[in-house]
Copies of this chain bind each other. A is one copy, B any other.
Amino acid sequence: MKGYTVAVVGATGAVGQEILSILEERDFPLSTLVPLASKRSVGKKLIFKNREYFVKESQPAEFEGVDIAFFSAGTKVSKDMAPEAVKRGCTVIDNSNAFRMDPEAPLIVPEVNPHHLRQHKGLIANPNCSTTQMVVALKPLHDYTPIRRVVVSTYQAVSGTGLGAIKELTEQTADLLAGKKVTPAVYPYEIAFNALPHIDVFDDRGYTLEELKMDQETKKIFATDEIAVNATAVRIPVYRSHSEAVLIETEAKLTPQKAREILSQAPGIRVVDNLDKLQYPMHIAAAGRDEVFVGRIREDFTVENGLNLWIVADNLRKGAALNAVQIAERLVADNLL
């Protein structure tokens, strides 16, 4: 098997670290690792497959000879550096918001729209975490009967914000339990024992970018404008996994039983919906797992063809790093590098 030269940009971040561990655990055919990050991480040591690597600064010249680069260092770094990498013959899988709505860049969830990869021009976008887990669960249902409308409320983990937010939740929680005052830094208000209906920036209609992404990205991934997503995105004090209360309205009737049957056979999904045994998907059960978990499947009695679902997945894995690595695996399998 050929071994690829793989760069990870943002190698010291929450998603970057997850990409490294997933590349290792899935035994991705990698011959050389190029860990890149911002200036302040230069010289940091990483262990990958028992070898030592030292983080270098992300600069155009570093992408010479690189086959695949995973970008996960924020929108600005992607905008500046991803085109440089592509220019040097590298295929970029970008986890930022920089190119997701770029018509030239396919937006890929391998279980959903792998065929969109065929048109790639060197730059492939990884969807936002809250979109990815939702479309994995909705795709097989959408294939059975088209979904026309989605109403979703999210319950999102702090790890989606990054390592600083994880630290903030821990320190704030400890301080509050000790009766100390806390001063928020990463988030505008306390996140410990609180919920923030505010993820990313607001637009002038009162939506957050996170909410709009769920609509726009779903349309692009499903390649239709006939699905519309009304989202409310909320950060809650959990470390890992996002939960989503999702209502779908479908063209034809889709019973809970039929949905369970379809989802049970679909790739990347685990149905957890045994209420007699109090089994339903949860943040702590999804953390560290690859599957998208679906439960609380029940008819919405307030509309003709409505179905409620509770969708949970590890936001750093399927929501980010795992999906990116799966894209790379698919590129390799389909000879698209």
Interface residues of A (CB under 8 A from B): 149-151, 153, 155, 170, 173-174, 177, 188-190, 193-198, 202, 205-207, 215, 228-230, 232, 234, 236-239, 243, 245, 247, 256, 273, 275, 278, 280-284, 295-303, 306, 308, 310
Asked whether, in the complex, the Cβ of A302 is within 8 Å of the Cβ of B230, the reply is yes
Known: A195-B236, A232-B296. 9 other contacts (CB 8 A): A151-B247, A153-B245, A155-B155, A194-B283, A206-B273, A206-B296, A228-B301, A230-B308, A232-B310
Residues of B within 8 A of A190 (CB): 284
Closest beta carbon of chain B to A333's beta carbon, Å: 36
Closest beta carbon of chain B to A309's beta carbon, Å: 9
Asked whether, in the complex, the Cβ of B283 is within 8 Å of the Cβ of A193, the reply is yes
Tell me whether A283 and B195 are in contact in the complex, defined as CB-CB below 8 angstroms, given that A205-B299, A238-B237, A245-B232 are known contacts: yes
CA distance A300 to B230 in the complex (A): 6
Please list 15 pairs of residues, one from A and one from B, whose beta carbons are closer than 8 Å in the complex, sorted by A's number: A151-B247, A153-B153, A177-B177, A194-B282, A194-B284, A197-B243, A197-B281, A206-B256, A206-B298, A228-B301, A230-B303, A230-B306, A232-B296, A232-B308, A236-B236
Task: Give how many copies assemble into the complex.
Answer: 2
Tell me whether A232 and B149 are in contact in the complex, defined as CB-CB below 8 angstroms, given that A177-B170, A177-B173, A275-B202 are known contacts: no
Indicate which residue in B193, B238, B273, B282 contacts A239 across the interface (CB closer than 8 Å).
Answer: B193
Asked whether, in the complex, the Cβ of A247 is within 8 Å of the Cβ of B230, the reply is yes
Q: Which residue of B lies closest to A190 (CB)?
A: B284
Asked whether, in the complex, the Cβ of B195 is within 8 Å of the Cβ of A155, the reply is yes
Asked whether, in the complex, the Cβ of B193 is within 8 Å of the Cβ of A298, the reply is no
Asked whether, in the complex, the Cβ of A303 is within 8 Å of the Cβ of B149, the reply is yes
Closest beta carbon of chain B to A134's beta carbon, Å: 14
Among A170, A190, A197, A238: residue with most chain B CB under 10 A = A197
Tell me whether A243 and B195 are in contact in the complex, defined as CB-CB below 8 angstroms, given that A284-B189, A298-B207 are known contacts: yes
Residues of B within 8 A of A232 (CB): 153, 245, 296, 308, 310
Residues of B within 8 A of A206 (CB): 256, 273, 275, 296-299
Which 7 pairs, one residue from A and one from B, show the smallest C-beta to C-beta distance?
A206-B298, A153-B153, A228-B302, A232-B245, A153-B245, A202-B275, A230-B302
Asked whether, in the complex, the Cβ of A238 is within 8 Å of the Cβ of B195, the reply is yes
Residues of B within 8 A of A234 (CB): 155, 243, 245
Closest beta carbon of chain B to A203's beta carbon, Å: 9
Q: Which residue of B lies closest to A280 (CB)?
A: B197
CA distance A100 to B173 in the complex (A): 37
